[in-house]
Amino acid sequence: MARILIIEDEKNLARFIELELKYEGYETKVCSDGRTGLNTAVTEEWDAVLLDLMLPELSGIEVCRRIRQTKPLLPVVMVTARDDVLDRVSGLDSGADDYIVKPFAIEELLARLRSLFRRMDQLSHSELTVLTFKDLSVELESCIVKKGDRVLNLTKREYDLLVVFISNINIVLTREVLLDKVWGYNTGVETNVVDVYVRYLRNKIDDDSEQSYIQTVRGTGYVMR
């Protein structure tokens, strides 16, 4: 039985989500402020976190960032009433795996959770422990990325994007494919967010004197070769 932590200060909404998830067979717990939610997330075992963006004591953005420091693979879904592009990018950049805007249909939330769990299950069952390309290496079990002997500090989203690229060497990946593999098919994120995160990733793995590891294929997408 999957365990889902709900960090939400709107009591009626939190109770509604809790009841629906329990009906679907999930085990749940609700925290109504960011500080308590963060402590609960990092000290107990969870399969996913539903995290409101606007929280008392500690914002959802900060909660997500701190979760990522200790649990880089724990799925986090941002749940918020703010639908501004900058808010969505900030939430995803802090390490959230998905973003759902209030009001939402419970069926959509359940679908997003199932999608997250499928991707996590595929990663955990991967036969490869270390993925390599040139002097880059990705240790899947520990989520450590190295360039030579130097450890690179990537966000969860940058890490996921790199894993997709390094698992598909010489294969041109469209923005739609990358969006599906990294953010999930049902996400509301626009494809231009892919360009933003490719740029973030390039800034961390490339050297100024080298050709980029990730090459742009004009009018199509990107390829690592």
Q: Give the residue-averaged pLDDT of 192-197.
A: 89
Q: What are phi and psi of 31, to 5 degrees?
A: -125, 140
End-to-end Cα distance, the chain = 41
The rounded distance, in Å, linking the Cα atoms of 38 and 152 is: 25
- Cα angle 34, 56, 154; round to 5: 40
Do 8 and 50 meet the contact criterion of CB atoms below 8 Å apart? yes
Q: What are phi and psi of 29, to 5 degrees?
A: -150, 145
Please name each of the domains of the chain with its CATH number: 3-124 (3.40.50.2300), 130-224 (1.10.10.10)
pLDDT of residue 87: 61
pLDDT of residue 90: 66
Compare 182 and 186 and report the one with higher pLDDT: 182
- 176, containing H or E segment: helix 175-178
Q: Give the residue-averaged pLDDT of 7-28.
A: 93
Q: Which of 39-53, 97-111, 143-157 has the largest mean confidence?
A: 39-53
Distances 100 to 33, 91, 107, 173 between C-alpha atoms, Å: 19, 11, 12, 25
pLDDT in tens, 61-120: 899 889 988 887 788 888 877 665 666 666 666 678 888 888 888 898 898 888 888 777
Chain position carrying tokens 């009018």: 219
Closest CA to 183 of 107, 99, 83, 108: 99
